A and B are shown apart, each in its own frame.
Chain A
Amino acid sequence: MQKKYGVYICTGCGIGEVLNIEKLESVVAEKRFACKTHACLCGQEGLDLIKADVAEGTNALAIAACSRRVNFDIFKFDGCVVDRVNLREGVVWSHSRDVFPGPVTEDEKADEYFVDRIQQMADDYIRMGMARIEKIAIPAPYKLENFSKKILVIGGGVTGMSAALDAAAAGYEVTIVEKEETLGGYAAKMRKQMPVVMPFESLIPPVVNDKIKAVEASSKIEVKTGTVVARIAGQPGDFTVTFKKPGEKIEFDVPLAVPEEQRVDANGKALDVDQIRVIYNQINEGRADVLTFDPNGVKYGAVILAAGWKPAEVNAEAWAHLGVGHADVITNHQFEMMAKEGKVVRPSDGRPAKNVVFVQSPGKDGDDADFDYCGSVTSMVALKQAKYVREDYADGKAYVIYQHMRTPGLQENFYKSMQQDPGVFLTKGEVTAVEPTADGLVVTAGSTLLGDEIQIRADLVVLATGMVPATKEDPVVNLAYRQGPGFRDIKTFDGYADSNFICFPYETQRTGVYAAGAVRRSQTIEESMEDAAGAALKAIQCVESANRGVAVHPRSGDMTFPDFFFQRCTQCKRCTEECPFGALDDDERGTPKPNPTRCRRCGTCMGACPERIIGFADYSIDSVGSMVKSIWVPSDMDFTEPPMRILGLVCENDAYPALDMAAMNRISYHADVRIIPVRCLGSVNVIWIKDALSQGMDGVFMMGCKHGDDYQCHFVKGSELMDVRSSKMGDTLVSLGLENERVAQFEVAIDEFDKAPELINKFVARIEELGPNPFKGF
């Protein structure tokens, strides 16, 4: 691409008042780039100015105006590379002349040694913008050779069928695969279910039967019962799926990942990648490799995982005080099965169970935790099953002893209506004992509404065991991915399939696979049906995005994808290992095979690659590195007291918006800082940090999202990976004679705009104490 450069400086929104625009123009002139200024670039006149140049061949534009987060739809020019130099939020709004004064008197203006920090900042940002447009290119979409829009739904329960019906209604071909011989799943095994429509008051017959009829009547839905997925190979838009009978062993069974315990030697030391690969090959003996595609496989574009749940096992040891083992102490699952068959009776002698106690929490040693995998659904199931007792016997009494009674949303109406039944008794409390008597059981509960210690005579005790997601023990999706057949366990979701519970429902850690229903969290039938619609829409978004060669999520519409310069690959496998989405499958030599439609364009591979051979059209080691190098680092040859230079690599998802918001609130941070937005901290390659320090910059900080249990990283692992990488940098720094503290990493949430500048200023103060980088001036 032959580039013709143009720099456009906006002087509106306070930029012209704070900055010396002529000085900025002179910075542009150093590069001999064309430069134009306007008082309102985003206005019609300003845009016409740019468009006229574009019409005459200008195709690489640096627009020095507001943040890239605003007016992105206005400053968009087809066939051009564009950089947005953030003079408004990044410079003039976030830096006050009261703190960083400019030259005022004639003497000051004439003094070429006057340190005008804000002006220097703007100058650098212009340089960085120009450096970037020199390095980036216009992306071309990645097009798949084979392409399927069909959607595969795993699980023929109420969620799977709802998703299939929704996708079919939108015009997509769907296949439902169900391991059991009939459709319906757990929802078909119930006596009654919770309400799904207003007024949410009474129990209704299971809605699943209507779903089965609708699925059977649909011409767009193919149903495969008694079938499971052996493997799903390939990538979104072009998955190759192998089906099999449950329990069957076939060549195309999915290759397994090496379990954690086999990744270390006898002394607990981590094995290297090649040793792990040997073990990998051993455990997958007889199975076709992930790169071998089943010639008889069926093509699909996206997958909806609606594998549902299993009732939790009874923990006889931990729940011994609840009478586990006695015939009349059963689980809510067993109760449901009994209620479906007929009247509620005592399993021990078949006599009517008229006094039933529903226990919602194991309640031991003052711990108010519920049973594992319990939640609002088990609360409501207890109310539902209490109603069964009342339906079966006019003089029946149902007691629910809970630590938490959760009835979210309009299900509160259901709670109210169940509570109205004279024979349903509810109390918060801690069940401390269930003991057999001559005729039945006696339940003892403490800390109840009725007193410190109460006892209830019971014919039957029902324990609220939870709903364990099907993905806890078994990957179910069986992806033929090098990282393993399931979603990576990030030790946050207890086996539930989810990549970020709040921000990105339905997304999993595998692009093109969308989870819905109880596999995502315990859900009612009502919630599952709504969830199914969400997952169906995501699956449709995925196939349509793959079709256009753009990213699905969270960089929806991004046309770039990682490009590998394979000649220099050393097969270290770091990219394959670190990719949070399992997008890369390496071959037996260890060369990564990219699967661009699996990719979310976070750049983690680029950050991980020690050879720096991975890059995107508009975001690469070189483009960011050149920006770093274009920053002017003054030394004592320039000024008697040279200002510091501190580089900030800031995540564009949460931290960068937080800084923009700080600017809007005119919260200031030190003007010696130079910010470069990055796609994710995971994409930060340590070479940028080394470059910055070796050219004399005094410190480097990374600012990204929170990690840990409540991680907010858009790419799951980015800030965590960066943490590991920068901790490993310590030795390098020491060998250079630099202090560890010159590199730091911060976490901010998007709403912590008051905190972000504070963190920066503290860091700057710390660097000031350390003194200037000794490399300055070399």
Chain B
Amino acid sequence: MTQKYMVEPDLGFINEVIGLGGDTLKKCFQCATCSVACPISPENKPFPRKEMVAASWGLKDKLVGSADIWLCHQCGDCSTLCPRGAAPGDVLGAIRSYAITEYAQPKVVAKMVNDRSKFGLLTAVPAAIFAFFAFLTVFGHEFFARLFGGEFWYHTHDGLPVPGIAASNFISSWFVDIVFVPLALAVVVVFGLGLKRFIADMHANAVLEGKTEKADFNWKEYGQALWKVLPTIGKHKKFSECGENRERATAHMMVLFSFIGLAVVTGLVFVGVYFLHQATPYSQLNPIKWVANVSGVALIIGVFLMMKNRLARKDQKSAYKDWYILGVIMVVAVTGMLTQMFRLGGVAFLSYLSYYIHLIAIFHLFAYLPFSKMAHLVYRTAAMGYQEYSGRK
């Protein structure tokens, strides 16, 4: 890199990173203990020292589009060993949050998701939507059954509402999916647009900083590289290379596989409901239910462990973004289980209330996915794929 680089520090960027939990970014005195300590940093242009230098100088362009910030799994080894009390792990975490908001469109939503004061508003939207649909379901289900036919509306063979307590008796699965199916598509589009820019930036950054020898980007090879890293991600191999991370790896793995389990359940149920007229709730003896319950319990335990770990680590900064996402997942998991338990216990009101909250929480999780910390799912995977692709060691 011999061309002259015009340094233009971005004070706003510095202040935002500080606000996102990177408040120690100015403490670095460039000793590079962090880069030495990091168990997963590559030898060629190791992180996080260079990120700390760039961050303290407010060099947004060097950070946001860099794959390196995503290669970090925030184990905290660097933060523990830093002789100056800086926490490179937290700073990278904060930069990642910033990068998520940078790539997610529309930006307004991104800003709101990371802003504690906007939580009420973000909650009010799904609350209103689902309250409206609950009203329609409860008071209009006979009208809709007449309009579309009972079998079609209730997904039952007899064309009658599911007897007893059933979630769809409170808010019809039609309404739920009217919200979530387009939402999921929108999320995919948002991610797609973000990823396109992100991958281009990652490559440009890698070429500029000499992290790869591949001048032109090849999508096919990149796709293959992505495929190759999937087992690494699944096994949490990088995660558990970090010394401080063993316990966190377990919790994280539980959460990840719970989500996969629940995604599978959701898919099966979707097929069951819409194509086989198997209206929910299913019997507890149904294997789908087994997967759902095991995943649900694992999710609660996983998130609980994550919260516990986070509280136990006094040296790690926990910002709003961190608690927000943990809280949302916890609420999703707990209300899901409570909905079922109150149903089985025959307490209709509490079951429906839990379900209502459950839907709001899921809305948070889904709609705000590209804007929240959960987006790491996509960006980190993309970055790890790029690392594999670039051949950087």
Q: Which residues of A contact B (CB under 8 A)?
A: 395, 397, 416, 419-425, 427-428, 444, 449-457
Contacts and interface: CB of A to CB of B under 8 A. Distances in A.
A452 B209 CA distance: 12
Interface string B1-45: 111111111010011001000000011011000000000000000
A456 B4 CA distance: 10
A722 B4 CA distance: 58
A450 B6 contact: no
Interface in B252-308: none
Interface string B57-68: 111000000000
Given A397-B11, A422-B14, A450 B4 contact: no
A549 to B, nearest CB: 55
A419 B53 contact: no
Given A422-B14, A423-B11, A453 B26 contact: no
B56 interface: yes
Contacts of B5: 450-451, 453-455
Contacts of A455: 4-7
Contacts of A424: 26
Nearest to B209: A451
A419 B15 contact: no
Given A419-B26, A422-B18, A422-B26, A456 B7 contact: yes
Contacts of A444: 4
Given A450-B54, A453-B2, A453-B3, A421 B26 contact: yes
A682 B1 CA distance: 60
B27 A454 contact: no
B53 A449 contact: yes
B7 A449 contact: no
A450 B57 contact: yes
Contacts of A395: 11
A456 B53 CA distance: 16
Contacts of B26: 419-422, 424
11 contacts: A419-B27, A420-B26, A422-B14, A422-B18, A425-B58, A444-B4, A449-B53, A453-B2, A453-B3, A454-B4, A455-B5
A425 B11 contact: no
- Most chain B C-beta atoms within 10 Å of own C-beta, residue among A419, A424, A428: A419
A12 to B, nearest CB: 53
Contacts of B27: 416, 419-420
A456 B18 CA distance: 23
A452 B1 contact: yes
Contacts of A422: 11, 14-15, 18, 26, 58
B1 A451 contact: yes
Contacts of A419: 26-27, 29
- Most chain A C-beta atoms within 10 Å of own C-beta, residue among B14, B30, B57: B57
A427 B57 CA distance: 9
Given A422-B18, A454-B4, A454-B5, A449 B30 contact: yes
A397 B4 CA distance: 20
A410 to B, nearest CB: 15
Contacts of B59: 450
Nearest to B29: A419
Contacts of B2: 452-453
A156 B18 CA distance: 46
Contacts of B9: 397, 423, 425
B316 to A, nearest CB: 20
Nearest to A456: B7
Nearest to B49: A449
Q: Which 9 A-B pairs have the closest CB atoms?
A: A422-B14, A449-B53, A420-B26, A453-B4, A455-B6, A451-B5, A454-B7, A454-B5, A455-B4
A32 to B, nearest CB: 73
Nearest to A423: B11
A423 B14 CA distance: 9
Contacts of A451: 1, 5
A395 B58 CA distance: 13
A427 B56 CA distance: 10
Contacts of A454: 4-7
Contacts of B6: 454-457
Contacts of A457: 6, 8
Contacts of B14: 422
Nearest to B56: A425
Nearest to B54: A450
A624 B29 CA distance: 60
A457 B6 CA distance: 8
A577 to B, nearest CB: 52
Nearest to B8: A457
- Most chain B C-beta atoms within 10 Å of own C-beta, residue among A421, A425, A444, A457: A425
A444 B29 CA distance: 22
B163 to A, nearest CB: 63
A306 B18 CA distance: 46
A420 B15 CA distance: 12
A397 to B, nearest CB: 6
Contacts of B30: 428, 449
Contact of A425 (B3, B29, B57, B84): B57
Nearest to B57: A425
A454 B56 CA distance: 16
Contacts of B1: 451-452
Interface string B334-376: 0000000000000000000000000000000000000000000
B54 to A, nearest CB: 7
A419 B56 CA distance: 9
Interface string B78-94: 00000010000000000
Given A444-B4, A454-B7, 8 more contacts: A397-B9, A422-B18, A422-B26, A425-B56, A453-B3, A455-B5, A455-B7, A456-B6
A450 B11 contact: no
B83 to A, nearest CB: 12
B139 to A, nearest CB: 56
A416 B3 CA distance: 32
Interface in B219-237: none
A455 B57 CA distance: 13
A453 B14 CA distance: 23
A700 B57 CA distance: 66
Contacts of B4: 444, 453-455
B59 to A, nearest CB: 7
A90 B12 CA distance: 74
A421 B9 CA distance: 13
A290 B27 CA distance: 59
A422 B16 CA distance: 11
A151 B81 CA distance: 53
Contacts of A423: 9, 11
Contacts of B53: 427, 449-450
A397 B54 CA distance: 15
Contacts of A450: 5, 7, 53-54, 57, 59
Contacts of A420: 26-27
Contacts of A397: 9, 11
